[in-house]
Structure 1
Amino acid sequence: MPLEQVSGRVDEDDRPASPAGRVAVGIVLNPKHPETLRSYAELVPELRNAGARYRSMTTSVDRSGRWQAEQLVKWGADIVIILGGDGTIRATAPVLAEADILTFLVPTGTANVLSRHIGLRSSRHAIDYCKRTIASIIRDGYPPNLWNVPINTAEYQTADGARHRTEFIGLAGIGGDARAVAHHRASLGLLGYARGAAQALFAADFAASSGGTASTGERTASTPVWSVMASKVARPAGPIAVFPEAHIDAPAFSVLTVGPFPHSPMARCRAWAGIAAACLQGRPDVHPLMNYRRTTETRVTVESPVPAQLDGDLIGDCLELRVSAGEKTLRVSAPAS
């Protein structure tokens, strides 16, 4: 089924609703990924066969999902299906959470961190679950398996001094992890992230102070670190649990400060080998360069601009990054864990 590569309505079932009404399903698609188009072509006929009416909208560079979600809310969507990656979810989630709309995810992006965390192994798995569950909702009104995914807040200051505020789902970081994102090649998929990570391993440490909340304003002394990350997902990249205590619906972040690393290349290689071994053993916290804590709010201030990321998307070179755990939640239906 062909899709217009524009931001706006792609396809709509214009059959009139029955007197009793039919379930209205909104679909947000990121057409950048070929898997999105394949998944959409399979999904829409199943929605029609199940008796749902639908409206589909694509994202674009200028409108990455928020506007599309707003239009679907105005249209009267009962359910919204997101076909895309973590970036598309992040753009649409605040609107859908505010409207309390049941959401389904079909992971067609590169990393798909949130989808993997809630048990969606692939786009194929997600489509099968989506078709089966929506059909049962239409037929019987069975309640779906629900995850309440908090919408968290990030405030950051970029190198030009401008301050920004936005929302994110599961992962924020500044330093080496963001450098890995900056160097990755999207065309290589997950291998592109591995390439970026390899280039970031030997990135220089940077001076940072961390900790502190809006109420206390307390900060640690400035010290050299490689990266500071706040996560609600156990496996931000690949199969290794870098944040073994993290959980998507937890009230607090698992915050990890990595470093400082030794200066010599050989010593740094040994340090990374030790971290890898600790992670593979399921005990990354035992390594002295992996320092964990749990908090609902944290702030990192750096002396010189360094890259920062949210949900695996680079947001630029920053002087400060503050993250706060959110109370507003997105209702997502996914397989029971």
Structure 2
Amino acid sequence: MTRTQWASRVGEGDRPASPAGRTAVGIILNPKHPATLRAYAELVPELRNTGAHYRSMTTSVDRSGRWQAEQLVKWGADIVIILGGDGTIRATAPVLAEADILTFLVPTGTANVLSRHIGLRSSRHAIDHCKRTIASIIRDGYPPNLRNVPINTAEYQTADGARHRTEFISLAGIGGDARAVAHHHVSLGLLGYAWGAAQALVAADFTASTGDTASMRDAARAEDTASTGEGTDSGLVWSVMASKVARPAGPIAVFPEARIDAPTFSMLTVGPFPHSPMARCRAWAGIAAACLQGRPEAHPLMNYRRTTETTVTVEYPVPAQLDGDLIGDCLELRVSAGEKTLRVSAPAS
């Protein structure tokens, strides 16, 4: 069966709105990833065994998840399961958070950053967790092991001068990290990200002005004075990132103080790097060694602070990304920590 044929058959188990007293489970799936198709085939029999009533909706290029989430809210979903990667979660999360719907994640994307940081090791592990927890909810009437994941806000100005506003979950960046995303090869999976990162290492520094408002700096300083810097800087940099996760890519904790449910971002400014290719290679080797030792903040080119809001302004358009998805060349990127939260079911630690 082709992917298109399979997608057209998804939802054969769909029925009219749930009768009173039955748990209604909505499923949002991104069929772009082959892993999604396999996970869905495993998930549906497990849901049937719990006695849950389900409805499935697929994403598309034009409708990446928000519309599907809205339809499931109207349908009356008590629970929504997302089969996809960080991009699918980012598209659906604002709607599900606003409706206060319990959400389960089945990681079938490439990086699956959020899923990894709430303890989901694989799609099979996530499906087992869905089965056990939904059965427990039907039996006992309450969901255990909840994580409240903030929905953060990004406002940015693209190269054409247009201004945009959207939400993101775990990571935002402008500069070298976004160049790595721009050059990665999807077909290679995580190796594709490694290829993109290798190309981004030689990218030129750019001039950026980074500013946190005084009130935001004070809030961050009160939370952790020792790790919070002044929060205002201007000059050459390789990248500026805001993270809520310790390990945005791979096993190394690039943001050791970051937490997915923290009220502040862990901000990182990288660079500036020396012009000489040999000196630049030595600098990257030093950063890699510091990260492997679990002390990335010890390297002088890795500058950390905490804040709830920051604005990065650049002199000429520079690539930017949100949750690992390129949003284009930008002149300005402003990120704000969110107060609205997504209720996510996580496995017991």
TM-score of the aligned structures, taking structure 2 as reference length: 0.92
Tell whether 2:232 aligns with 1:223.
no
What is the 5 A alignment of 1:1-337?
A: 10-14=11-15, 20-213=20-213, 220=232, 222-337=234-349
1:4/1:10 contact within 8 Å kept: no
Rounded Cα–Cα distance in structure 1 between residues aligned with 2:160 and 2:69:
31
Confirm or deny: 8 A CA contact 2:216 2:309 kept in the other structure.
no
SS in 2 for 1:269: helix
Say if 1:78 and 1:102, in contact at 8 Å, map to a contact too.
yes
Partner SS state of residue 333, structure 2: strand
Between Structure 1 and Structure 2, how many residues are aligned? 336
CA positional deviation for 1:212: 2.9
Secondary structure at 2:209 match in 1: strand
Deviation at 1:31, TM superposition (A): 0.1
1:48 shift after superposition: 1.3
One-letter amino acid of the counterpart of residue 104, structure 1: F
- When residues 81 and 16 of structure 1 are mapped into structure 2, their CA distance, relative to the original with a 3 A threshold, is closer
One-letter amino acid matched to 2:306 = R
Q: SS state of the match for residue 222, structure 1?
A: strand
Q: CA deviation at 1:237?
A: 0.1
Separation of aligned partners in 1, 2:37 and 2:193: 23
Q: Is the 8 A contact 1:7 1:58 kept in 2?
A: no
Q: By how many angstroms is 1:166 displaced?
A: 0.2
**Aligned with 1:11: secondary structure?**
coil
Taking the aligned partners of 2:111 and 2:288, their CA distance within structure 1 comes to 20
Separation in 1 of the partners of 2:24 and 2:251? 36
**CA positional deviation for 1:13:** 3.5
- 43-52 or 111-120, which moves further after superposition? 43-52
2:136 partner amino acid: S
Distance between the aligned counterparts of 1:317 and 1:114, measured in 2? 25
Q: Give secondary structure in 1 for the equivalent of 2:160.
A: coil
Amino acid at match of 1:103: T
Residue 302 of structure 1 aligns with an amino acid whose one-letter code is: V
Which residue identity lines up with residue 208 of structure 2 in the other structure? A
Q: Aligned-pair distance for 1:222?
A: 3.1
CA distance in 1, matches of 2:237, 2:329: 16
Give 1:254 shift.
0.2
Call closer, same or farther: CA 1:260–1:107 in 2, change over 3 Å: same
Whole-Å separation in 1 of the counterparts to 2:4 and 2:44: 12
| 2:12 alignment partner, SS class | strand
Q: Judging changes above 3 Å, is the alpha-carbon distance between structure 1 residues 314 and 336 closer, same or farther for their aligned structure 2 residues?
A: same
Q: Secondary structure at the match of 1:164?
A: strand
Q: Is the 8 A contact 1:9 1:55 kept in 2?
A: no
Contact 2:155 2:163 in 1 (8 A): yes
Return the alpha-carbon distance in structure 2 between the equivalents of residues 205 and 17 of structure 1.
Answer: 56
Deviation at 1:182, TM superposition (A): 0.2
8 A Cα contact 1:7 1:59, kept in partner:
no
Provide the rounded CA distance (Å) in 1 between the counterparts of 2:6 and 2:317.
36
Counterpart of 2:75, as a letter, is W
2-structure distance, mates of 1:84, 1:216? 34
Deviating runs (4+, > 4 A) in structure 1?
Answer: 1-9, 15-18, 214-221
Structure 1 residues 47 and 279: alpha-carbon distance in aligned structure 2, compared to 1, 3 A threshold: same
Higher helix share: 2
Range 167-176 or range 122-131, more displaced: 122-131
Contact 1:181 1:312 in 2 (8 A): yes
- How well do the aligned residues superpose, as a CA RMSD in angstroms? 2.1
The one-letter code matched in structure 1 to 2:122 is S
